[in-house]
Each structure stands twice: as structure tokens, then as C-alpha cells.
Amino acid sequence: MTVDAGYAEVDQVAKQLDRLIEVIEVEDLTESPRLSRELALVKLAVTGPERDRAVAEVDRFGGRVVDAGETHVIVEVSGEFDRVERFLGLLRPYGIVELARSGPVAMSREVAVHEQ
């Protein structure tokens, strides 16, 4: 989970997350070198030649077809926010039927050993 906010707000969110049982660790990456990515799953209702063109566009962009039926394809792409936005722009002419997007997830680029 990422939060784009001031120091006080980030601290408050971190404390609230720490109270959740499922949360193992909360790390503030504000001052750390970090890597941030998003995942998008996109369903297109395409058939015939239009489907072939859409799949070719996805392949050229570096996306991946993860499911295909007679009347649809579901494709995925991951990357930085701008890359996901460009991918969605590429697919809009084909008619996006459904979209699931993770939002940004981040990881520190620094190496640290965590005890469990």
C-alpha cells in the first residue's frame, strides 16, 4: 500500500495499519530509494480481426493475455503509473468492458534483513 500524504498523515496511517492483525510490518519509504509499480487487468469484448489487432497491440506493448473466451480477452500489464496509463489509452479504442487496477505498491531498493 502506498500513501501520498504529509509526514503526520503517513505516521497516522502507519500506526492504524500496525493495529491490524494481518499486517506484519509497516515501513515508511518517504526518504528511501524505492521502486513503485501497478498492476492492471483489462477485459475487452473483442472478436475476429479486431481481437487479433488488440492482442497484437498488447504483445507489442509488453502486456500479456491471461484469459480468452469466445467474446472477450483479459489482458494484464504492470509497471509505473505512466506506463499503465499509456496501456489503457492504447486499449480504449477497443472498448474496455472491465478494469481492475491495484494502485501503486512499493518496495525499498535498499537491502535489509528482516527477522520473522
Instruction: Quote the CATH superfamily of domain 34-108.
Output: ACT-like. Chain A, domain 2 (3.30.70.1150)
Q: What is the pLDDT of residue 6?
A: 78
Neighbours of 46 (CB within 10 A): 20
Helix/strand/coil percentages in the chain, nearest 5: 35, 30, 35
**How does pLDDT run along the chain (116 residues), one tens digit per residue?**
666 777 788 778 777 777 776 767 777 788 889 899 999 999 999 999 999 999 999 999 999 999 999 999 999 999 999 999 999 999 999 999 999 999 888 888 888 766 66
DSSP state of 3: -
Q: For the chain, give every residue range classified as CATH 3.30.70.1150.
A: 34-108
- Residue 85: helix, strand or coil by DSSP? helix
